[in-house]
Amino acid sequence: MRKIVAILAVSMLTLATVPAYSQQTQAEKDECLLAAQNCSSAVDDIQNRIKRLRAEINKGTRVYTPQELNALKAKLRAVTELMNQMPVGP
């Protein structure tokens, strides 16, 4: 009986801490955009990626370093250029 109670207590504590770990506030960096990696939960089309990049750039130096802002701006230029090169309609 004590074993079952101990297992339940540990699992309840584990489940209670997982949501707090995974939540991000608005002031935090968007690591999926900043790093050159594909995050499985962040599949974007080009227009959404541009919108997200602009939103992150607008956060400015209160969230990002100047080097990180330059990297985000470079990614925004690259994605915008890619969108402009895409053929329009049939």
pLDDT digits (tens, 9 = 90+) for 47-59: 888 898 999 999 9
Identify which of 24, 80, 8 has the alpha carbon closest to the alpha carbon of residue 50: 80
Residue 86 has what pLDDT? 81
Burial class (CB in 10 A: 0-12, 13-18, 19+), 53: buried
Residue 1 has what pLDDT? 72
Could you give the CA distance from residue 55 to residue 72 in angstroms, rounded to a whole number?
Answer: 10
Give the number of C-alpha atoms closer than 13 A to the C-alpha of residue 10, restricted to the C-beta side.
Answer: 6
Q: Would the pTM count as exceeding 0.75?
A: no
Residue 15 has what pLDDT? 53
Low-confidence ranges of the chain (pLDDT < 70): 3, 5-44, 90
